Amino acid sequence: MLMLLEKLNRTGLLSVPGLLFILEALLTTGVNLMTMLRVSAKLHPRRFAITDERERWTYFELWQQTETLAGSLSQKFSIQPKQKVAIACRNHAAAIKAIFALSRLGTHVFLVNPEMSAEQFLALEERFKFDFYIHDESLTHVFNHPTLKHKSLPSYHSSAESIDRLSRTPCKNVRLKKVKTGNIVVMTGGTTGQPKAASRKPSVLNFLPPFVALLTKVHLDRYRSVYVATPVYHGYGLASLLLGVVLGAEMYFTERFDAAKGCSLIAQHRIEVL
């Protein structure tokens, strides 16, 4: 227990400012994933949070853009608590912003394998009747289908509206309410057959055991940089992302895992944990 308290104190979470930031986040944001990001943004505002194949963002920049995105999704697309929103994206900043923004809005987030076929996506829609989709631009041909086109948005786009553009353009007169998080559902499988839903409620009780294990056994708090090679639409990739945010780690992402590219990235940035 003493070791755990010492390690938590090292992260800044148990310091006086850390405890005040946690209280402020809970009172302002509610109990959702954005609470973690807000606290890390206050504790480590200038520390780099995410480096992907396009850009890099500090924790403060990531939090600001994610709050902006949540406001835009609420105002422009009427995303509301308890709605079902599917994210079919690879590892990049727009997908990460979307996960936190949708949790901030209290939606049920479904993480879907973007390598599924058009037929699989349509079968998934028939089964779940999602309220909204966020997808990579490479899947535009799938989401041009009449059933999906009116309720989908790309993560990036060279000219049209996208998650990336919304996160950079603040909306006026948007005031988000404090909300309780919805479920995060990881759709397991799906490359060859229909995926199965594995629901994960991001509560403190579910999150605490692996967090404690990584601190006391793996000593993850000793390391500053992490390469998240596993897709965030997999359970392990999602857990790595959330733990990285709590620890204030500098996280690196590539859209596809390539061994040569991964080794080069690790050597170039002296990444400590894979």
Q: Is residue 110 part of a domain?
A: yes
Q: Per-residue pLDDT for the chain (274 aa), expressed as one digit of tens each?
A: 677 677 777 778 888 999 999 999 999 999 999 999 999 999 999 999 999 999 999 999 999 999 999 999 999 999 999 999 999 999 999 999 999 999 999 999 999 999 999 999 999 999 999 999 999 999 999 999 999 999 999 999 988 999 999 999 988 888 899 998 888 998 875 555 566 655 555 544 455 566 666 677 767 777 889 999 999 999 888 888 988 998 899 999 999 988 988 899 999 999 998 8
Query: Is residue 94 a part of any domain in this protein?
Result: yes
CATH number at residue 80: 3.40.50.12780
DSSP secondary structure code for residue 45 in this structure: T
Task: Tell me if 256 is assigned to some domain.
Answer: yes
Name the domain count of the chain: 1
DSSP H or E run through 109? strand 108-111
Answer yes or no: is 149 within a domain.
yes
User: Is the full-model pTM beyond 0.75?
Assistant: yes
Residue 198 forms part of a structural domain: yes
- Would 53 be classed as within a structural domain? yes
- Which structural domain, as residue segments, surrounds residue 59? 2-269
Assess if residue 219 is contained within a domain. yes
Residue 77 maps to a domain? yes
